[in-house]
Amino acid sequence: MARGIFNQLFIKEIYNKISYLIRSLAESAIALLLAFLVDTLFLLSLGYDLHIIFRIFGTLFVTGYSDLNYLFIKSSPYIATGLAFSIPMLVGIFNIGGEGQLYIGALTALIISYVTKSSALSILAGSLAGAFLGLLIILGRVYRNINEVVSAIMLNWIMYYLVAYIITSYIYDPYAPYQSRPAPSEATIGSLQMFIYSVSIAILIYIVLYYTAIGYRIRVIGKSYKAALYAGFSPSREIIYSMIIGGGLAGFGGSLIPLGIRPYVIDNTMSVLYGIGFLGIGIGLLGRNNPIGIILASLFISGLVIGGENVERLTGVAPEIVDVIIGVVIISLAMPRVYRLLVRRGVFQ
Amino acid sequence: MDKKVIIEMRGIEKIYPDGQYALRGVDLDIYEGEIHGLLGENGAGKTTLMRILYGEIKPTKGIIRIRGRVVRFNGPWDAIRHGIGMVYQHFSLVPSLTVLENLYLSLLPMRRKITSRQVRDLAEKFSGILNIKIPYNDYVDDLPVGVQQKIEILKILMRGAKILILDEPTSVLNPLETTELFRMLKRLRDDGYTIIYITHKLREVMELTDRVTVLRRGEVAGRVLTKETSERELALMMVQGEILELTKRSGVNRSYDKNIVLEVKDVWVKDHRGLDVLKGISLDIKRGEILGIAGVQGNGQVELAETLVGVRRVYRGRIIFKGIDVTNKKPIERYRMGLSYIPDSRSVGLVYGMNLLENYILTKINEYTNKLGLINWGKVKLDLIKSIEEYNIITRALDTDVRFLSGGNQQKILLARELSKKPDLLIVSEPTHGLDIASTNFVRRKLLEYKESGRSILLISTDLDEIFELSDRIAVINEGKIVYVGYPNELTSEKLGLLMGGLHG
């Protein structure tokens, strides 16, 4: 009897999981088709003919995924900043500070690499620096009710100029003073190594979220604050933890960049860092706040970004137009989720 | 019955987008000037049917005729234009506005240039039939629920409604207010209004209505004249085929061990506005008894439960649980000592958006984690399946979102989770609120069984039948004070009603 019910429920559970997967994939496929349609109309309206439009799509989606090394380098920091957004999001905190946490992580890792010449220690230090920044933001929120979005945006700019200042004033390269000294070769890491680190951390976070008590509490708080209080959890503690983890992840992502991307420096325009933290928000949403989803979303977006670079080079289309094309794709992919949210709020009958 | 048919609903079907059948071809006739009872268990489709009539949702199939003409409603405003009004379980008044402002607000969409003078004049026309002196300048928030309900009805009458739909109106009222409501509804009927009364309470149908339509699982299970039927017959229609197993009244249990499990000594608690909500509560609960706390909703019951659990802070008095002072202990510490709580709102006791497995460990996660903090989901699965069998919980899978379970099954999950911890004291609030007969009986039987095993239960309920059926002792709460403690056989429901209303019977 018990056996029978067990099997029946067990099979149903597997069936549910598979059907969820198929539904998600089908939704994404339809969204992607719609994005193509909108992009085509957009390009047509600008006067491009269909021949060029197909070349743009071809370059964007084919060349983006052919160079694995480049794909790994691009996607690794995205995985980290995607998680940096999603973990706090699970408890209802909007971490827009991933950008600043990424900057400070990159700078700290770079400086520590000069001293220790060890990649592991540098990454650790970078992560801690990011975590510290996250902690700062969330302490203000929990104990002084300071809006985390406002303080995070301000800190993003403070970090931007702080990093630029330190690079050009203290650790500049005497032969190219607009950029920092490169990380020592003993401390640099390869593209595959970078990717393995990021993916392992994402999987670790997945395990923490779904198989440990603290992850469970974090998820409960995000879903129902009242139920969490009833169950005897202390939400502020979990909220603080989530932001320490979030900041730490962004710092981790930042530390990968000067250690893993040639020529292993940060320049005073911050071009290797800029925007990676912000794009993490989109990646977190696209990955549905699920670490495994975030890995996939990072790979997908990185491919588009790389493809976009190639589109510029090979077809001569302006980079702004490529950004619009990619933007439409990302928004379309997020639509099913937005739609479901609206349905839940009762916007449609 | 030589009266005219005013509403005809024919072959109404409703299938929700997720493929769930709410109604499977319902025919309903309402005669002019009658009180028509719409009876059914929870989930039978009563409210869905009426929301279709009120234009709130569209039927998948079927037609509606009002006074012989086919109508098609795009929204409640169309229904209002045809003279239909609906009073919900939860009132649609703005609590922070005065009565006059609320009335004004509800008339504004129909009459743009109305003045507050005109609103008053119009309202006065109905004050006689409602038997109320309208407190125009009082804030709705400060009014008793019974008065709020009258204002809600007044609002609908002022919009010109001739057909009133009431959805379980007595669930928030005490016995005296209920009697008053029934008198008022009868007066309205005698004045030519038509009333559709949604309920799952047999006694109310017998007392109030002229005719009854019984719904069961989205179909009509019977249509009868009230005077030609009986409670027993109606109950059989509602459950049809299912065995009606009424819980036997257990004898007053006076032979319990005299050990006291919980002692509450002169406890005072303030709410978020700084007003006293508990004013010197003193109670004791003995081992192996059910102490029932009766009272009208909103007299401090929720606050009492939350205080005993430790969510609210006590500023005076002491709480002693199993001989240990727990006044300043956190909820989690009290749970560990053997206290358990099932809140009145299932959306607090359960996490909507999480599945059965995840909900099953909400308050007992430490039973399933090892030293590293890893959760043993395999063990959760096995225990959950045992509970599903024992409590006969109907679910499609273990990873179904609890939001999609029926109210009865949600309550059973809560009960299974809390009782499986074998607490020394279970605090349970409104355990059968909104449940159908079968689930209600099941829950009550489980609570009695649990008591028989020698543990104690603090039962907080506004359902007097429930209090009488389960309690070994009864305490009455009114405005944050315990006004009476005694044995069930010393009380009548009339006396209890007076005590709950703040009068000393």
Residues in chain B closer than 8 A to A17 (CB atoms): 399
Residues in chain B closer than 8 A to A16 (CB atoms): 397, 399-400
> Measured between alpha carbons, how far is A299 from A303 in angstroms, rounded to an integer?
6
Structure token pair of residue A114: 């000069």
CB contact under 8 A, A211 and B351: no
- Residue B396 is nearest to which of A12, A219, A227, comparing CB atoms? A12
Structure token pair of residue B222: 């019977």
Q: Are B23 and B195 in contact (CB under 8 A)?
A: no
> Measured between alpha carbons, how far is B60 from A25 in angstroms, rounded to an integer?
30
| Number of domains forming the structure of chain A | 1
Q: What is the pLDDT of residues A87-116, one digit of tens each?
A: 999 998 999 999 999 999 999 999 999 999
* Range B116-122 average pLDDT: 90
CA torsion sign for B181, B182, B183, B185 is positive
pLDDT band of B503, cuts 50, 70, 90: low
Residue A286 — φ and ψ, nearest 5°?
Answer: -60, -35
pLDDT of A40 above 80: yes
Q: What is the pLDDT of residues B69-78, one digit of tens each?
A: 999 888 888 8
> B270 - beta bridge partners?
B276
Closest CA to B419 of B373, B471, B360: B360
pLDDT of A56 above 80: yes
Q: Are B36 and B209 in contact (CB under 8 A)?
A: yes
Question: Does the predicted TM-score (pTM) go above 0.80?
Answer: no
Q: What is the pLDDT of residues A247-266, one digit of tens each?
A: 999 999 999 999 998 889 99
If you write DSSP's letter for every residue of B88-132 in order, what string do you get? -SS----TTSBHHHHHHHHHTTT-TT--HHHHHHHHHHHHHHHT-
Average per-residue pLDDT for chain A: 90
**Which residue is it, tokens 């029946």?**
A8
**Which residue is it, tokens 């009548």?**
B492
Question: What SS3 string covers A266-318?
Answer: CECCCCCCCCHHHHHHHHHHHCCCCHHHHHHHHHHHHHHHHHHHHHHHHHCCC
* Residue A154 covered by a domain: yes
* Residue A66 covered by a domain: no
> Measured between alpha carbons, how far is A210 from A218 in angstroms, rounded to an integer?
10
Q: What is the pLDDT of residues B471-482, one digit of tens each?
A: 999 999 988 889
The pLDDT of residue B242: 41
> Measured between alpha carbons, how far is A269 from A275 in angstroms, rounded to an integer?
12
pLDDT of B3 above 90: no
Higher-confidence position of B253 and B401: B401
Q: What is the pLDDT of residues A216-236, one digit of tens each?
A: 999 999 899 999 999 989 889
The pLDDT of residue B43: 66
Q: Which of A124-128, B187-191, B500-504: highest mean pLDDT?
A: A124-128
**Which residue is it, tokens 């003279």?**
B83
pLDDT of B268 above 80: yes
Least confident of A228-237, A279-288, A324-333, B243-252: B243-252
Residue B455 — φ and ψ, nearest 5°?
Answer: -100, 170
> B426 - beta bridge partners?
B340, B457
Preceding omega of A263 cis (within 30 degrees of 0): yes
The pLDDT of residue B241: 44
pLDDT band of A1, cuts 50, 70, 90: very low
Long-range contacts of B378-382 (CB under 8 A, 24+ apart): B381/B357
Average per-residue pLDDT for chain B: 86
**CA-to-CA separations, A300 to A228, A250, A294, B321, in angstroms, rounded:** 35, 19, 10, 57
pLDDT band of B202, cuts 50, 70, 90: confident
pLDDT band of B256, cuts 50, 70, 90: very low
* Residue A290 covered by a domain: yes
pLDDT band of B243, cuts 50, 70, 90: very low
β-pairing, B163-167 with B61-66?
unpaired
Q: Are A113 and A258 in contact (CB under 8 A)?
A: yes
pLDDT band of B460, cuts 50, 70, 90: very high
Q: Are A159 and A133 in contact (CB under 8 A)?
A: yes
The per-residue b/e assignment along B116-127, b for 16 or more CB within 10 angstroms, e otherwise, is eeebeebbeebe
Amino acid letter for position A181: R
**Which residue is it, tokens 């302006």?**
A318
Distance of residue B17 Cα from the nearest chain A Cα, in angstroms = 10
Q: Report the percent of chain A where pLDDT is more than 70.
A: 96
Q: Report the percent of chain A where pLDDT is more than 90.
A: 63
CB contact under 8 A, B351 and A13: no
3-state secondary structure of B456: strand
Question: Chain B within 8 Å of A347 (Cβ-Cβ)?
Answer: no
If you write DSSP's letter for every residue of B338-356 in order, what string do you get? TEEEE-S-HHHHS-TTSBH
The per-residue b/e assignment along B171-185, b for 16 or more CB within 10 angstroms, e otherwise, is bbbbbbbbebbbebb
Q: What is the pLDDT of residues B389-443, one digit of tens each?
A: 899 888 878 888 898 888 888 999 999 999 999 999 999 999 988 787 888 889 9
Higher-confidence position of B4 and B293: B293
Q: Are A264 and A180 in contact (CB under 8 A)?
A: no
Closest CA to B351 of A236, A239, A228, A242: A228
Q: Are A103 and A160 in contact (CB under 8 A)?
A: yes
Mutate to test the interface with A, among B365, B413, B418 (most CBs of A within 10 A): B365
Q: How many CB atoms lie within 10 A of CB A228?
A: 23
**Which residue is it, tokens 């048919």?**
B5
The pLDDT of residue B109: 83
* Residue A52 covered by a domain: no
pLDDT of B182 above 90: yes
HSE-up of residue A100 (Cα within 13 Å, Cβ side)? 23
pLDDT band of B162, cuts 50, 70, 90: very high
The pLDDT of residue B260: 87
Q: Are A247 and A134 in contact (CB under 8 A)?
A: yes
**Which residue is it, tokens 């109210």?**
B407
Structure token pair of residue A332: 């379309």
The pLDDT of residue A104: 97
Mutate to test the interface with A, among B329, B348, B371, B382 (most CBs of A within 10 A): B348
Distance of residue A212 Cα from the nearest chain B Cα, in angstroms = 4
pLDDT band of B209, cuts 50, 70, 90: very high
Q: What's the distance, CA B437 to chain centroid?
A: 14
CB contact under 8 A, A224 and B385: no
Q: Are A276 and A84 in contact (CB under 8 A)?
A: no
Least confident of A1-5, B99-103, B152-156: A1-5
* Residue A123 covered by a domain: yes
pLDDT of B252 above 70: no
Higher-confidence position of A8 and A94: A94
Q: Are A119 and A188 in contact (CB under 8 A)?
A: yes
| Element housing B185 (H / E) | helix B175-190
CATH number of the domain at A239, please.
1.10.3470
> Measured between alpha carbons, how far is B30 from B37 in angstroms, rounded to an integer?
10
**CA-to-CA separations, A23 to A27, A256, B281, in angstroms, rounded:** 6, 35, 55
* Residue A59 covered by a domain: no
Structure token pair of residue B373: 């903090």
CB contact under 8 A, A13 and B397: yes
Amino acid letter for position A198: S
Structure token pair of residue A68: 């694995």
Amino acid letter for position A285: L
* Helix residue ranges, H only, B361-463: 377-391, 407-419, 437-452
The pLDDT of residue B397: 83
Residues in chain A closer than 8 A to B388 (CB atoms): 5, 9
Q: Estimate the crossing angle of helix A319-344 against helix A50-62, to 10 degrees.
A: 70
Question: Chain A within 8 Å of B330 (Cβ-Cβ)?
Answer: yes
CB contact under 8 A, B349 and A9: no
* Helix residue ranges, H only, chain A: 2-45, 50-62, 68-90, 98-116, 119-144, 148-169, 191-211, 213-223, 225-230, 235-260, 276-286, 291-315, 319-344
* Range A298-327 average pLDDT: 90
> Measured between alpha carbons, how far is A246 from A256 in angstroms, rounded to an integer?
16
Question: What SS3 string covers B353-370?
Answer: CCEHHHHHCCCCHHHCEC
Structure token pair of residue A227: 């139920």
Least confident of A95-109, B235-249, B266-280, B375-389: B235-249
Residues in chain A closer than 8 A to B374 (CB atoms): 211-212
The pLDDT of residue B426: 95
Burial of residue A210 (number of CB atoms within 10 Å: 0-12, 13-18, 19+): middle
* Range A286-295 average pLDDT: 91
> B38 - beta bridge partners?
B198, B213
* Residue A58 covered by a domain: no
| Element housing B262 (H / E) | strand B260-270
Closest CA to B106 of B89, B123, B125: B123
Mutate to test the interface with B, among A20, A224, A290, A343 (most CBs of B within 10 A): A224
| Domain coverage including residue A94 | 79-344
Closest CA to B294 of B429, B462, B428: B462
Residues in chain B closer than 8 A to A211 (CB atoms): 374-375, 377
pLDDT of B340 above 60: yes
Higher-confidence position of B463 and A51: A51
Distance of residue A21 Cα from the nearest chain B Cα, in angstroms = 14
The pLDDT of residue B334: 92
* Residue A210 covered by a domain: yes
* Range A10-31 average pLDDT: 83
pLDDT of B59 above 70: yes
pLDDT of A182 above 90: yes
Q: Report the percent of chain B where pLDDT is more than 70.
A: 93
Q: What is the pLDDT of residues B24-58, one digit of tens each?
A: 889 999 999 999 999 887 667 888 899 999 998 88
- Residue A13 is nearest to which of B310, B386, B399, comparing CB atoms? B399
Distance of residue A211 Cα from the nearest chain B Cα, in angstroms = 5
